[in-house]
Amino acid sequence: MEGTREPSGEGDSDADISVGDRALGKSRLLSRQCDTCIFNPGNPMHLAPGRLRDLVSEARQRESFIVCHDTLPHYRQPGVKPAICRGFADRYRTQALQLIERLFGFVEVDPPGATGPDPRRGVDSR
């Protein structure tokens, strides 16, 4: 299954980035969409026209998922580990997501930099 190897450095693809938490035996999934999620209205990541469609199409063709950009190695803040994009997981049920859910389950992690309540859910994310 894709997305199982640990990142080895520059040039890693999403397939080289592990969202797995070895200690728990589960995969990391964001507890909510990050503030700049590619699925938020208004294109907060300033993606080129058609880029979101291409990202989603590629992930769905591979029956995989999208890793949250805020958790990728080149965006990494200390202690942040790659996690599945909540925006993608809430919208698409790919084979990889279904298998992870049935076989191992998810551990929900807060988006990087989350410090207060999620205004969309009214829940404290600390």
> Tens of pLDDT along 8-32?
333 445 556 899 999 999 999 999 9
Residue 5 forms part of a structural domain: no
What does the pLDDT look like over 72-118, one tens digit per residue?
Answer: 887 767 778 999 999 999 999 999 999 999 999 999 999 998 765 54
Count: domains in the chain: 1
Residue 55 to residue 124: CA distance in whole angstroms: 30
Name the maximum alpha-carbon separation found in the chain.
40
- In this structure, is residue 44 part of a structural domain? yes
- Domain span at 21: 14-109
Instruction: Answer whether 27's CB lies under 8 Å from 106's CB.
Output: yes
Question: Residue with structure tokens 């520059």?
Answer: 10
- In this prediction the pTM is 0.78
124 part of a folded domain: no
